[in-house]
Structure 1
Amino acid sequence: MFVAPYFSEESGGIAFTRQQGSDFAKTVADDFNPLHDADAKRFCVPGDLLFTILLYKYGLSQHMEFTFSGMVPEGVELLLPEAADAMRLLDAQDKEYLSMRRSGEHTNLESSIESLCRCYVAFSGHTFPDLLVPLLAEQDVMINPGRPMVMYESMGIDLERLDFTDIALELDHNELEMSGKRGAVRMVFNFVENGEIVGRGRKSMLL
């Protein structure tokens, strides 16, 4: 699995070094977020890395919802739960970092999982420079590019079928709602293979 170099696994848990998290962000996702720089003061493991690992560990389902509830620092071991329709990633102190719900048909086909993960992570990594900056400019909202505090809140996917091998991701539309200095962004996108929409997804972030 292509994600193997970016985490360590031992005794039913996974953990990350700064370099592993940063390498995934920079080489796989081409991620702009400075929180994923190896030398960042407030470094955190990319949420997209957690998403990718969970798909490889537990498979891909037609309907999946992920909620991100905590920033994962280096060295924290996350315990892998038993496979179920609803799962949570916790540390040894029972602090929750991510929850996942899934339903519908299911596959462990690596070609489908890798295709979806790669196209989604590449899209997600370019969220700030390619999508957020123009969206904020339209609303006359300023953000510090040196410290763009963009927090992953949730994402979900709904797939028509699971037998794809080479899908692309296309943005459908995005929404921005501001409340004072805080904002909520929702991006809606399609998964496409050979011109056919095979699924839809959404990503929510907090500013």
Structure 2
Amino acid sequence: MLLESYYTKYENIVRITAEQASDFAKQQCHDFNPLHDPDNKRFCVPGDLLFALALYEYGVSESMSFTFTNMVGANMGIIFPEADSEHIIITNEQGKSVLEIKKDGNTSHDPVLIESLIKNYVVFSGQNFPTLLMPLMKKHNVMFNPARPLVMYNSMSLEFESLSLNNPLHVELSDAYFEVEPKRADSFLNFDIFDGQKVIGKGIKKLIVAGLKPYDHERISAFSLAYESRRSAF
């Protein structure tokens, strides 16, 4: 199974170590966001790993939305409830919501579809920076603080026309835009899901870019080069 090395489960409680979370971000998503480094004081488990675990647990529905309500720290106990409802709340051991899922329509538990969607979506998702965010920040003349980058996964929604897969699945960006406030920006990444050459689904990913500063091409370019160097070295 694709995820078996990235978490442990005892009875009904899932735990993810900092190293497992960091490995998933780097190995599966090609994501080197410093928030997922084990030694980062603000470390959190990647939202894409929680999303992937949720698909294994609940399948892929024709309409799904995922809202990340609280950060998940290293070794935090997470409970994925047994549920067949349209609204699922995933909590920590203290009962605090960390991920809320709404789903509607038919549901597929086809392991080929689930693994293909996970593999292709998380690689797309891991392109947040610098590939997808750099042009948006430049366009709006803002950027995050390179000394304390804070880019957080807020939510994502999926809509499928078909849950049958006949060809290799892939995900492509269709549109991207920023909504800028004084100290933060909401970034929206629209994407298409293809079965071969046919679009079978669409989605929107929302990110929060916090701690905005005026755009400084030299500083953000240096950060981008260092980021790409980490990715290449890995």
Normalization by structure 2: what TM-score?
0.86
Matches of 1:109 and 1:100, distance apart in 2: 19
Query: What does the per-residue CA deviation read over 1:22-78, in whole Å, with 9 as the maximum and x for residues that have no partner?
Result: 000000001021100122121110000000001011111111000001110011101
Secondary structure at the aligned position of 1:21 is classed as: helix
Q: 1:14 corresponds to which letter in structure 2?
A: V
Moved over 3 A (4+): none
Change (3 A) 1:146 1:27: farther
Shift of 1:188: 0.6
Matches of 2:122 and 2:152, distance apart in 1: 15
Secondary structure at the aligned position of 1:42 is classed as: coil
Matches of 2:97 and 2:83, distance apart in 1: 17
Matches of 1:70 and 1:105, distance apart in 2: 28
Match of 2:115 in 1: 114
Whether 2:145 is the aligned partner of 1:144: answer yes
Shift of 1:163: 1.5
Shift of 1:144: 2.6
- Report which of the two structures shows the higher radius of gyration computed on alpha carbons: 2
Moved more, 6-15 or 163-172: 163-172
1:166 to 152, 168, 184: 168
Give the % identical residues: 40
Moved more, 134-143 or 45-54: 134-143
Match of 2:183 in 1: 181
Match of 1:43 in 2: 43
Match of 2:75 in 1: 75
Match of 1:124 in 2: 125
Shift of 1:146: 4.3
Q: 1:51 corresponds to which letter in structure 2?
A: F
Unmatched runs of 5 consecutive residues or more in structure 2: 210-234
Match of 1:59 in 2: 59
Moved more, 161-170 or 182-191: 161-170
Secondary structure at the aligned position of 1:111 is classed as: helix
Normalization by structure 1: what TM-score?
0.97
Alpha-carbon RMSD: 1.1
Moved more, 103-112 or 84-93: 84-93
Count of aligned residue pairs for this structure pair: 207
Moved more, 140-149 or 25-34: 140-149
Whether 2:28 is the aligned partner of 1:28: answer yes
